[in-house]
Amino acid sequence: MARVLIVDDEPKLVTLLKSALAHRGHDVSGAGGGAEALALLPGGRFDVVLTDLRMEPVDGMAVLAGARVHSPDTAVVILTAYPEVKGAVDALQQGAFHYLTKPFNFQEVAHVVESAAAAVALARENRALHRAVVQLGGGPEIIGTCPATAALRQLIAQVAPSDATVLIRGESGTGKEVAARALHAASGRAAGPFIAVNCAAIAETLLESELFGYRQGAFTGADRDREGLFEAARGGTLLLDEIGEAGAAVQAKLLRVLEERKINRVGDPIERQVDVRVLAATNRPLETLIGAGTFREDLYYRLLVFPLDVPPLRERLDDIPLLTAHFLARLGRREAGLPAAALPRLRAHAWPGNIRELRNLVERAHILAGAGPLTVDHVQLDVGGRGRLAPGPSTLEDLDLDRNARTLITEALRRADGNKTAAAAMLGITRRAMYSRMKMLGMEAGSAE
């Protein structure tokens, strides 16, 4: 049995189709026009929508567009009079399942409706399977059993199915991106794309066109129309990482997306509806940025619909054995864990770099141990290596600014266990300044880690 909506401004046709399809055991509703159909679509109550193409004032193309946004699991079949075949082809390009030309016989209608319903059921089943596979492993995993971790996992499971915006907060290296991926994987959008953008790694104007796309000629170098990540992530999830680093223009546009689900590509007057779940992450308290006047308070409240706090490692010390076992397994080592003798030291450590620091420690131990057994000597905590760079014995070979900048950044990153926020703090510059310096020097600055 399929749930079918018939849309036609000719009441007689609606009645006829309704009774023919109901006769075959389908659950059929009718709408006398496009506007009525659009009002019925949200909520995904229909498997198949059968709509006339030419209607006034809201036509079948608008019904199709509405279905794609508000009920992406619904297949749309277009009904059209013979001379309008071109319109039907456009409809297919816009994602219609099939079209039927009038006059048609009921046998044909029933056949198309039933194969559309079967395709919809298959797509749904695929998505459920995909979710199951992700949960079975291979997908993003939040390792750990201590109460703080269990609570995090529970919250993710609760908020995932909704389309609510989630603000993921936590210190650097706590697993904010891992949490975001887990949330996506547990959501109804799991089969759609997951895209993460680091707002700190990209210059403001570039970030705007990355996110929203642009129209040909919008600026020098815009030699063709391009869609942005909000469009590329349709049907999926977009993670705005380090949202606190987004500039004013981007913040204003983000506010609009969150309020109206609409964007304009840069330089383009056409409004576009977006179908994206937005997640944002920050390791800086946004309240402070609001106080400093660099972050919009209204955007903050839009993001705060559902805050998700990822606890620091020092509050989940009991997870250390499981986490290290996980990292060792990923490195292909046979040991089931780090030597027990190392555990007291690991528990006493402050872990400013959180889980990333722990992962780096395990990787270092793995390299030091080589093919031999991994012993407690291979477990080396980076204690006392923090704080501002000490002047120390000068390693400056010459006065080449670039070379020395490279040395300083590399050293700061090493001391901060790859944590860029901490490294930038040691150097006394902003994270954004460090990124742009790294880019200038051709150093690897692309990834979020």
Ligand X SMILES: Nc1ncnc2c1ncn2[C@@H]1O[C@H](COP(=O)(O)OP(=O)(O)OP(=O)(O)O)[C@@H](O)[C@H]1O
Which spans of this chain sit near ligand X (rule: CB under 6 A)? Answer: 141-144, 170, 172-178, 283, 323, 326, 355-356, 359, 419, 448-449
Least distance (Å) from Mg ion to the CB of residue 56? 51
- Closest-by-Cβ residue to ligand X is 175
Least distance (Å) from Mg ion to the CB of residue 448? 4
- The site partner of 142 among Mg ion, ligand X, none (C-beta below 5 to 8 Å per kind) is ligand X
Residue 6 CB coordination number (10 Å): 28
144 or 170: whose CB is closer to Mg ion? 170
Q: DSSP characters for 225-285?
A: -EE-HHHHTTTSEEEEETGGG--HHHHHHHHHHHHHSEEE-BT---EEE---EEEEEESS-
Least distance (Å) from ligand X to the CB of residue 283? 4
| Alpha-carbon dihedral 343, 348, 354, 357, rounded to 10 degrees | -60
Least distance (Å) from ligand X to the CB of residue 328? 12
Residues within window 175-214 making contact with Mg ion, judged by CB under 5 A: 176-177
Beta 237-241 vs 226-227: how paired, if at all? unpaired
* Beta bridge mates, 272: 263
35 or 146: whose CB is closer to ligand X? 146
Nearest to 155 by CA among 183, 181, 189: 183
- The site partner of 172 among Mg ion, ligand X, none (C-beta below 5 to 8 Å per kind) is ligand X
- Cβ atoms of 241 and 197 within 8 Å: the answer is yes
Beta 75-81 vs 48-52: how paired, if at all? parallel
Residue 357 binds to Mg ion (criterion: CB under 5 A): no
Residue 402 CB coordination number (10 Å): 11
34 or 144: whose CB is closer to ligand X? 144
d(CA 252, CA 337) in angstroms, rounded, equals 48
Q: In Å, what is the CA distance from 391 to each residue of 396, 419, 427?
A: 11, 21, 12
Least distance (Å) from Mg ion to the CB of residue 244? 12
- The site partner of 144 among ligand X, Mg ion, none (C-beta below 5 to 8 Å per kind) is ligand X
- The site partner of 321 among Mg ion, ligand X, none (C-beta below 5 to 8 Å per kind) is none
77 or 338: whose CB is closer to ligand X? 338
Residues within window 142-181 making contact with Mg ion, judged by CB under 5 A: 176-177
Least distance (Å) from ligand X to the CB of residue 354? 7
153 or 261: whose CB is closer to ligand X? 153
d(CA 344, CA 288) in angstroms, rounded, equals 36
Instruction: Candidates 186-194, 252-260, 331-339, 441-449: pick the segment binding Mg ion (CB under 5 A).
Output: 441-449
- The site partner of 173 among ligand X, Mg ion, none (C-beta below 5 to 8 Å per kind) is ligand X
Least distance (Å) from ligand X to the CB of residue 33? 49
Least distance (Å) from ligand X to the CB of residue 403? 27
Show the tokens assigned to 202.
Answer: 């990209």
d(CA 67, CA 42) in angstroms, rounded, equals 8
Q: DSSP characters for 129-186?
A: HHHHHHHHTTS------SHHHHHHHHHHHHHTTS---EEEE--TTSSHHHHHHHHHHT
26 or 359: whose CB is closer to ligand X? 359
33 or 144: whose CB is closer to Mg ion? 144
- The site partner of 355 among ligand X, Mg ion, none (C-beta below 5 to 8 Å per kind) is ligand X
Residues of this chain that bind Mg ion (CB under 5 A): 176-177, 448
